A = this chain, B = another copy of it.
Amino acid sequence: MKNIDVCLTPDLLHLHKLNNSIVVVTDIFRATSCMVTGFAYGVRSIIPVATVEECKDLQNRGYVAAAERNAQKVDGFDLDNSPFSYMDERLIGAKIAMTTTNGTLSISKAKSEAVKVMVGAFLNLSAVVNHLKNQPYDVLVLCAGWKGKPNLEDTLFAGAVVSALKDEYFVAEDSAILAMRTYEQAKGNLSAYLSNSSHIRRLQGLGIHKDINYCLQNDLYDVLPVLRGNELVNV
């Protein structure tokens, strides 16, 4: 039987073998929620890069560039890290370059070894789950976390994926069990469960409560961003 596991932070990714796994990267607040929204609104491709310098270089070569550090937009870039910034008709057909504190780093770390890397958020949960049901590979949900530490919102999303796939996959590892049970405890009211989380406090300090509620909605979009070479495309 296929296995599903969860890696609670990219700092633990070295403990996982990925050569037979599809990796689902999630960074709920807000990188992967932005990516999913962008594709839903017609973005053509997104190149995730690890550093601000790489992102600047792509901007100079004509990409629409988005750079976030410490939950804030970096000066001199085109887009901030709010999903609402991606609901813009000027982005239809656009090629975007993106770097974020946690999310794009996680994609970079996973891509060399995994069978396939895709991007998940509550906004496209069912698209992710339905795709995985028919795959012959193991699955690892990789939580972007916060600067190497686990966080609640990505753990909840990982738990939602495990919970939805528990009949098709073997749930053997403690991180996967922990994430699944946490999600099942919280799913009636994710927003209340997260109300004391560290990143919610960080984001509320920036006045973006609207983003939080938006990112916690299930299945707004039937899009599936998958890495092809160095760029994410909607398959």
Contacts and interface: CB of A to CB of B under 8 A. Distances in A.
A226 B36 CA distance: 50
A199 B196 CA distance: 31
A175 B175 CA distance: 12
A5 B115 CA distance: 36
Given A12-B12, A15-B11, A149-B15, A198 B178 contact: no
Interface residues of A, number: 28
A126 interface: no
A185 B181 contact: yes
Contacts of A175: 149-150
Max chain B CB contacts within 10 Å: which of A146, A174, A185, A198?
Answer: A174
A182 interface: yes
Contacts of A11: 11-12, 15
Contacts of A136: none
Contacts of A185: 181, 185
Contact of A173 (B149, B171, B173): B149
Contact of A178 (B15, B150, B171, B199): B150
A186 B9 CA distance: 24
Interface string A191-204: 00100111100000
Interface of A: 8-9, 11-12, 15, 146-152, 155, 171-175, 177-178, 181-182, 185, 193, 196-199
